Amino acid sequence: KNHLKGKDFLQLSDYSTDDIHYLLDVAQELKAQQKQGKPHPYLSGKVLGMIFEKSSTRTRVSFEVGMLQLGGHAIFLSSKDIQLGRGESISDTAKVLSRYVDGIMIRTFSHDSVEELAEHASIPVINGLTDLQHPCQVLADLLTILEHKGKLVGLKMCYLGDGNNNMAHSLMEGAVKTGMNFSIASPEGYLPNGKVTGKAIEAGKLTGSTVEVTNNPQEAVKDADVIVTDVWTSMGQEEETEKRLKVFESYQVNEDLCKLAKNDFIFLHCLPAHRGEEVTADIIDGPHSVVFDEAENRLHAQKAILKLLLAK
Ligand code: CP
Ligand code: NVA
């Protein structure tokens, strides 16, 4: 029985280890079906509303294509064009959309707005990125690691750069839920959210995962199986760009730093990337990088989320 039907997908900490593996299994099945050209219209006649308050390439295209491949349809709703952008309340928007569509994906700034939308919607709400979390990306990342490493339990994942960021938080949650050890190196003032970290440490006790938070990139990357980074300036922080270039300088993922990782480490980045800033071109375009498999897996991972949450 599909116990995820009707649920929201707001952050990985709401999902059990089994739930995450269930999603990953379904993602692999759907990926195989799609590669074999087998139709899989599990959501025929279903419609996803997609609210975007920030830019997107991958999230928008992968959700839209995913709904089409599942036999449904997606509607792109830019917050600039819908009444939400002119001050209509989140709760009214949630109630109205719940009368038309079968699920809502939202990308916005405040995580609280997504929680509020989910509270007032009678249909599943999927977080397509907030300032705090990016769970769809991390489900795709877990799928990518599983494909390249054949397992998740016992691997060491290292994240370098801005710790107080959506990717850092969701990766931490995804790692501890699946038995990976997580290390993160960020400068003082840019450490991950304390609440998210505390909860992750607790979750790790159930799976045997550890969480290590440090300012020292060399220490964090030591013997890592998976190295991940993200932009130093996230959407909405553009005014701080210059300051951030200096603050994060010594956290760049480059050849020297990667020498400290395992020989067969893989490199992930959710993209978009800035070559020469958070990562050098020789790493992101080199043999250890799996960033385009990772980008592709957004499609397959999200189709699993859609299939299970919006199930008939
Ligand atoms: N990784 C990611 O979410 O990309 P987009 O901003 O292009 O959707
Ligand atoms: N941390 C980045 C991720 C983009 C997909 C941002 O929020 O802009």
Where in the sequence is the domain holding 139, given as residue range(s)? 135-294
57 is in an annotated binding site: yes
Q: 3 lies in a domain?
A: no
pLDDT of 312 above 90: no
List, for residues 147-187, the tens digit of each pLDDT value. Answer: 999 999 999 999 999 999 999 999 999 999 999 999 999 99
Indicate which residue's Cα is closest to atom 1 of ligand 1.
270
Q: Are residues 68 and 168 in the same domain?
A: no
Closest atom of ligand 2 to CA, residue 54: 8
Looking at residue 247, which CATH number applies to its domain? 3.40.50.1370
67 is in an annotated binding site: no
What the block records as the tokens of 278 is 């958070």
Mean pLDDT of 128-134: 98
Q: 6 lies in a domain?
A: no
pTM: 0.99
Q: Are residues 98 and 222 in the same domain?
A: no
What percent of the chain stands above pLDDT 90? 99
Q: Are residues 178 and 276 in the same domain?
A: yes
Q: Are residues 33 and 172 in the same domain?
A: no
Judge whether 156 and 180 are in contact, CB under 8 Å. yes
Q: Are residues 86 and 211 in the same domain?
A: no
Indicate which residue's Cα is closest to atom 2 of ligand 2.
234
Instruction: Please tell me the distance between residue 96's alpha carbon and the centre of ligand 1 in angstroms.
Output: 27
List, for residues 183-237, the tens digit of each pLDDT value. Answer: 999 999 999 999 999 999 999 999 999 999 999 999 999 999 999 999 999 999 9
Chain Cα centroid distance, residue 76: 20
pLDDT at 32: 98
298 is in an annotated binding site: yes
Q: Are residues 168 and 143 in the same domain?
A: yes
Mean pLDDT of 283-311: 98
**AA identity, residue 275:** R
Q: How confident is the model at residue 41 (pLDDT cuts 50, 70, 90)?
A: very high
**ipTM reported for the complex, 2 dp:** 0.99
Chain Cα centroid distance, residue 51: 17
Q: What is the mean pLDDT of the chain?
A: 98
137 is an active site residue: yes
Q: Are residues 172 and 289 in the same domain?
A: yes
Query: Which candidate in 107, 169, 244, 269 is catalytic?
Result: 107
pLDDT at 243: 98
pLDDT at 139: 99
Indicate which residue's Cα is closest to atom 2 of ligand 1.
58
What the block records as the tokens of 247 is 């603050």
Instruction: Please tell me the distance between residue 137's alpha carbon and the centre of ligand 2 in angstroms.
Output: 10
The domain total for the chain is 2
Query: Which candidate in 137, 169, 258, 302 is catalytic?
Result: 137
Q: Indicate the Cα dihedral angle 141, 173, 149, 224, nearest 10°.
A: 110
